[in-house]
Amino acid sequence: MSPNLEVIIGLEVHAQMSTKTKMFCGCDNDAFGKAPNTTVCPICMGHPGTLPAPNAAAIEKAMKASVALGCSINEENHFDRKHYFYPDLPMGFQISQYDFPLSSNGSVTYDVLDASGNVSDTKVCGITRLHMENDAGKLTHRGSTTLCDFNRAGTPLMEIVTEPDLRSAAEAVAFAQELRRMLIAVGSSEADMFKGMMRFDASISLREKGTTKLNPRSEIKNLNSFKALEKALQYEEKRLRKLWDETGGPLKGDITVGWQDDIEKTRMLREKETADDYRYFPEPDIPPLRFTKKDIEDLKKTMPALPRELKEQYIELGLTEQQAFQLIDQASLREIFEAVRNKTGDAKRASSLVLTQLLGFLNTAEKDVSEGPDASAIVELVEKIDDGTISANAGKDVLQKMVESGKNASAIIAEEGMQQISDDSAIEELVKKAIDANPKAIEDYKSGKEAALGAIVGFVMKESKGQANPAKVNEMLRKKL
Ligand code: ZN
Ligand code: MN
């Protein structure tokens, strides 16, 4: 019988920093859509005699990410050369950080969601370290030819290494999603998965439950999406369990495997290289980085709210967890929500207008938040409702038309003649008509049946095609009766 095994997973995450220029030179850091080998210079191409100069903006972004992850920033740290040969690495080494990384010893608290999107568990994953390094170029294999594009060579990366604290593929994905939210929230990375701005290497091993020793692991390289991360870990877990059954134990040594997205299988690449193979030594061309306690304290004062804090705030305001995640994950939606909340001081109303009505109409029209009305257009609609120009009900129709046509609220109200009737003489006219037409209801009301009033108000609303101001109709009716 198979022993009772548990899964041990740790991640290495590479996230591209959202700087204007590369890590050690002034080249454009946005290579997306640019012709190959056009955002390069002698420094990122590793020409002899050139000197790298660290990008201050990148260092600040990596420090902010460190603080967000609860890591302590090491007051003194430095860059190292990590040597390996590969055609996409022009210098013949990567400038990285080895024994003195930028920061270490943090943790991330994250929620695991069930199938319906509700939180089923809250877990903590330790962060071993965060260090900075530059990216390599990109190889494209075509038959027997390999093409090399160095535009990405020198792009600033953060490498974030976790403790082996994750216990399933689902936990690894939930953690990675929370990490992505955090990096975006502090402005360190755009973490756009489609552009390869966030990549994972996942290490997985098995051990008998109740034991504490870590067994040799299989490291799955270069996973580019949450889906790939999940599928690759599920596949490798199954494979290692089968192997355990066959051999009676764990792997004999560390291995490195690649994930083949098309056939959804891993493939053996090599036995794992150890640090000795890289011949690390301190980068002689870049002086050590030194930060004072005050530098670090000052930086902490500039930190924005983290996703978990935002989530707690939204839940306190009466939103559901799913609504909170919708706002946290979509900055443009959050901007609209916050604008309505600021205007009205009413979070429930803001969530009903933005998360129910607006999102509903956007879905129907198959539009993205960025293609719909912006925050100021929605605030204008709120003003039209609050000053009595239109009723709340008519507001819903106006919003739908705003989404469909891209026009603003006042244009739609004018074109469609949707103004609410608040004019006293016009309402008096309508009320008179209602009294004449409903003698039975009037009698009932006069004999004490309060509910009869509703029928008369309903008549007025129907007569006015819903445009009469109901509060005014009520007031006038009571006066007349
Ligand atoms: Zn360059
Ligand atoms: Mn790395």
Cα separation, 429 vs 9, whole angstroms: 75
Which one of the ligands is nearest to 135 CA?
2
Ramachandran class of 426: left when φ > 0, alpha when ψ lies in -120 to 50, beta otherwise: alpha
How confident is the chain (481 residues) per 10-residue block, as mean pLDDT? 88 97 97 94 95 97 98 97 93 96 98 85 97 96 94 97 97 97 94 93 96 95 95 97 95 93 88 78 96 96 94 93 88 93 94 95 94 95 90 91 94 86 81 87 85 84 81 83 77
Whose tokens are 């999107």? That residue is 117
CA of 19 to the centre of ligand 2 (A): 18
**Which one, of 65, 60, 73, 56, lies nearest residue 22 by Cα?**
56
Residue-wise pLDDT for 327-338, tens only, equals 988 888 999 999
CA of 33 to the centre of ligand 2 (A): 24
Q: What is the pLDDT of residue 340?
A: 96
CA of 15 to the centre of ligand 2 (A): 10
**Which one, of 385, 5, 55, lies nearest residue 207 by Cα?**
5
CA of 381 to the centre of ligand 2 (A): 49
Which one of the ligands is nearest to 43 CA?
1
* Listed residues: CB within 5 A of ion ligand 1: 25, 27, 41, 43-44
**Over the Cα atoms of the chain, what is R_g?**
31
Q: Which helix (H) or strand (E) holds 428?
A: helix 424-437
Cα separation, 50 vs 45, whole angstroms: 9
Q: What is the pLDDT of residue 115?
A: 82
CB pairs under 8 A, 24+ apart, for 262-270?
264/231, 264/235, 265/235, 266/218, 266/220, 266/232, 266/235, 266/236, 266/239, 269/221
**Which one, of 235, 238, 106, lies nearest residue 175 by Cα?**
106
CA of 223 to the centre of ligand 1 (A): 27
CA angle 359, 330, 360 (to 5 degrees): 5
**Which one, of 4, 5, 7, lies nearest residue 166 by Cα?**
7
Which one of the ligands is nearest to 155 CA?
1
Cα separation, 336 vs 203, whole angstroms: 40
CA of 23 to the centre of ligand 1 (A): 9
CA of 174 to the centre of ligand 1 (A): 36
The beta strand positions in 114-229, using DSSP E, are: 119-134, 138-142, 145-149, 156-162, 198-208, 218-223
Burial class (CB in 10 A: 0-12, 13-18, 19+), 9: buried
Q: What is the pLDDT of residue 459?
A: 86
**Whether the Cβ atoms of residue 417 and residue 465 lie closer than 8 Å to each other:** no
Q: What is the pLDDT of residue 1?
A: 54
- How many CB atoms lie under 10 A from the CB of residue 276? 7
Structure tokens that stand for 22 in this block: 């590369």
**Which one, of 183, 203, 192, lies nearest residue 69 by Cα?**
183
Which one of the ligands is nearest to 37 CA?
1
Q: What is the pLDDT of residue 475?
A: 84
Q: What is the pLDDT of residue 165?
A: 98
CA of 288 to the centre of ligand 2 (A): 19
The beta strand positions in 150-296, using DSSP E, are: 156-162, 198-208, 218-223, 255-260, 265-271, 281-282, 289-290
CA of 171 to the centre of ligand 2 (A): 22
Q: What is the pLDDT of residue 427?
A: 83
Which one of the ligands is nearest to 13 CA?
2
- How many CB atoms lie under 10 A from the CB of residue 173? 20
DSSP code of residue 468: B
Residue-wise pLDDT for 286-339, tens only, equals 999 999 999 999 999 999 999 999 999 999 999 988 899 889 888 889 999 999
CA of 198 to the centre of ligand 1 (A): 21
Q: Which helix (H) or strand (E) holds 99?
A: none
CA of 87 to the centre of ligand 1 (A): 17
CA of 357 to the centre of ligand 1 (A): 48
CA of 224 to the centre of ligand 2 (A): 14
DSSP code of residue 354: I
Ramachandran class of 253: left when φ > 0, alpha when ψ lies in -120 to 50, beta otherwise: beta
CA of 27 to the centre of ligand 1 (A): 4
CA of 14 to the centre of ligand 2 (A): 7
